[in-house]
Amino acid sequence: MAKFPMYEEMVKNIAEKALDEILYDGKSIREWMQIIVTQVDAISRESVLEYIKASEAELGHDSENESVRQDIKELPSVNPQPKKVRCEK
């Protein structure tokens, strides 16, 4: 007699299939997840502020730089914050 997969096993198989077979812009969901996780194109606020300070020393003080510095300080963090996930059974 054939063994039918359990509910959890079926769900896992469907999810794995979706991760590998659903494509967006020629890449699977799994590939997009890998791209997002390994994206390291962010720079720190401190680096930008140091760059502005060095530019000021070289080029002279610009009155707009203070508002630019404030805008930079108010940007959201580039460090990923853990997301709270709530699972219900």
Residues 12 and 21: their CA atoms lie apart, in Å, by 14
> Phi and psi of 23, rounded to 5°?
-110, 145
Q: Which tokens in the block code for residue 74?
A: 């108010």
Q: Tell me the mean pLDDT per 10 residues along the chain, length 89.
A: 78 89 89 77 74 76 68 69 57
Q: Which tokens in the block code for residue 46?
A: 């401190």
Residues 49 and 56: their CA atoms lie apart, in Å, by 11
- Identify the pLDDT of residue 41: 58
- Identify the pLDDT of residue 2: 67
> Phi and psi of 82, rounded to 5°?
-60, 135
The rounded Cα 56 to chain-centroid distance in angstroms is 32
